[in-house]
């Protein structure tokens, strides 16, 4: 086994361990003090006990402005933990945050995403990340952290964030949302992966913030705007994360169970409402369910739009160049902005800068192994 593969096994093992921990905690009383242990409590939206004060921090946001817990006083906020180069849980987590922003439209809450990758996620990088996922959202603060204080901040939120030596994602971290009240006290930790918990968070945030206060910007009703507002492209325009959706109507798709699915109205509807029922083969990332957000008319508009999406021009011309990243082995669609380097007379392409950097430290190790 390559060291990389071992790291992967460790990560998968850790993820399974965490999942098991979640399952156990669901059954038995919570032990320990990690934020995870407060997830999955019944009637959380009703009780909202005062759990612990948020830790002190002072970080720059995506606009270069200093943000502290004091500056957030008087404001209900939801915190989560991400890093922009992450390709496994973070796109899913961020797409859930985007759903949360839509479900809490018009409610006076702030969304605070704390980066667990201080070396890479500068304010500029976080700004670009916001532009990709929710450019119009004014209540979203993305914090660039620093190496010296990140561990203390994560510990203060009772959140796991640890470095790992993997080619896929270098940082393992928690997938919970933490709800903070206007006095800076944590009032709940909610699993992003559990539907009931996610809906309990919506309810709890409304309760703390005092229901709808502002004129809510309504969720769009037409397909193109819905596709944009729900940030479907955040995953689907990156072939290494999710299957491209353009030009697929009537074609067949291979599923994880070995069967084929025809890309028709019923299949697309099911993919959006209950994506885990039939899954496309070859993707590690999970597609989030959108059933909490879409009424019948909006769902139909979105399905019609996806069915009519044209194939991307390069693909129809047969000119799309897809290469395998020599570090993580993901498929990469080569464009002008694809990270690349030359070595030993060959040209190599990478899914992200992080893989390129890894390659550059020991190129021969990645080239010699097939
Ligand atoms: C967090 C990333 C992510 C987001 C956001 C996302 N998807 Fe997906 N989607 C995936 C992945 C990964 C798959 C393939 C695995 C599977 O089938 O679940 C997928 C599969 C699909 C499929 C089946 C595709 C095929 O080729 O068979 C459809 C249709 C789809 N998504 C539509 C949407 C729509 C519409 C939205 C926005 C409302 C959306 N997705 C948002 C990740 C995402």
pLDDT score for 4:
43
pLDDT score for 72:
96
The pick from 236, 309, 330 for probing ligand 1's pocket by mutation, whose C-beta has the most ligand atoms within 8 angstroms, reads 236
What span, in angstroms and rounded, lies between the C-alpha atoms of 341 and 350? 9
The pick from 103, 224, 228, 235 for probing ligand 1's pocket by mutation, whose C-beta has the most ligand atoms within 8 angstroms, reads 235
pLDDT score for 194:
87
Span 120-156, pLDDT tens digits: 999 999 999 999 999 999 999 999 999 999 989 999 9
Half-sphere exposure of 359 (CA within 13 A, CB side): 26
Residue nearest to atom 16 of ligand 1 (CA): 279
What span, in angstroms and rounded, lies between the C-alpha atoms of 230 and 273? 13
pLDDT score for 94:
94
pLDDT tens series, the chain, 370 aa: 444 443 433 343 334 334 433 433 333 333 334 555 555 554 666 779 999 999 999 999 999 999 999 999 999 999 999 999 887 778 889 999 999 999 999 899 999 999 999 999 999 999 999 999 999 999 999 999 999 999 899 999 987 766 655 545 556 667 889 999 999 999 999 988 888 999 999 999 999 998 666 666 778 999 999 999 999 999 998 888 899 999 999 999 999 999 999 999 999 999 999 999 999 998 888 899 999 999 999 999 999 999 999 987 764 445 567 888 888 877 788 888 889 999 888 899 998 888 899 999 999 888 864 4
Atom of ligand 1 nearest to the CA of 244: 26
What span, in angstroms and rounded, lies between the C-alpha atoms of 134 and 143? 15
The alpha carbon of 174 and the centre of ligand 1 are apart by a number of angstroms equal to 23
The backbone torsions φ and ψ at residue 193, rounded to the nearest 5 degrees and listed phi first, read -95, -10
CATH numbers and ranges of domains, the chain: 3-209 (3.40.30.10), 236-316 (1.10.760.10), 322-368 (no CATH)
Largest Cα span, the chain = 64
pLDDT score for 317:
47
Identify the residues whose C-beta falls under 6 Å from ligand 1. 91-92, 95, 230-232, 234-236, 242-243, 245, 248, 253, 263, 268, 271-272, 275, 279-280, 283, 285, 287-288, 290, 302, 306
């Amino acid at each position: 086994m390559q060291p990389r593969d071992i790291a992967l096994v460790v990560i998968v093992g850790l993820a399974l361990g965490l999942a098991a921990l979640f399952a156990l905690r669901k059954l038995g009383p919570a032990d320990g003090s990690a934020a995870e242990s407060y997830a999955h409590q019944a009637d959380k939206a009703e009780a909202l006990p005062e759990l612990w004060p948020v830790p002190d921090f002072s970080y720059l946001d995506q606009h270069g402005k200093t943000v502290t817990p004091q500056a957030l006083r008087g404001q209900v906020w939801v915190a989560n933990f991400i890093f922009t180069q992450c390709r496994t849980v973070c796109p899913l987590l961020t797409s859930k945050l985007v759903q949360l922003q839509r479900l809490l439209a018009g409610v006076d809450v702030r969304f605070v995403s704390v980066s667990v990758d201080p070396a890479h996620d500068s304010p500029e990088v976080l700004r670009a990340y916001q532009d990709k996922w929710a450019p119009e959202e004014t209540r979203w603060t993305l914090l660039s952290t620093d190496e010296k204080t990140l561990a203390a901040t994560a510990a203060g939120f009772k959140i796991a964030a640890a470095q790992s030596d993997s080619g896929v994602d270098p940082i393992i971290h928690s997938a919970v949302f933490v709800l903070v009240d206007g006095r800076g006290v944590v009032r709940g930790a909610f699993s992003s992966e559990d539907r009931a918990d996610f809906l309990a968070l919506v309810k709890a945030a409304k309760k703390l913030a005092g229901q709808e206060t502002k004129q809510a910007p309504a969720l769009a009703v037409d397909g193109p705007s819905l596709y944009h507002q729900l940030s479907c492209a955040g995953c689907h325009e990156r072939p290494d994360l999710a299957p491209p959706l353009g030009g697929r109507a009537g074609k067949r798709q291979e599923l994880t169970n070995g069967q084929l699915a025809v890309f028709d109205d019923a299949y697309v509807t099911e993919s959006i409402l209950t994506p885990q029922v039939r899954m496309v083969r070859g993707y590690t990332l999970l597609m989030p369910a959108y059933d909490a957000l879409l009424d019948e008319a909006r769902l139909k508009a979105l399905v019609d739009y996806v069915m009519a999406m044209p194939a991307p021009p390069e693909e129809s011309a047969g000119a799309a160049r897809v290469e395998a990243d020599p570090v993580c082995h993901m498929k990469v669609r080569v464009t002008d902005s694809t990270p690349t380097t030359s070595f030993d007379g060959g040209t190599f392409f990478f899914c992200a800068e992080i893989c390129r950097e890894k390659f550059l430290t020991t190129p021969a190790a990645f080239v010699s192994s097939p």
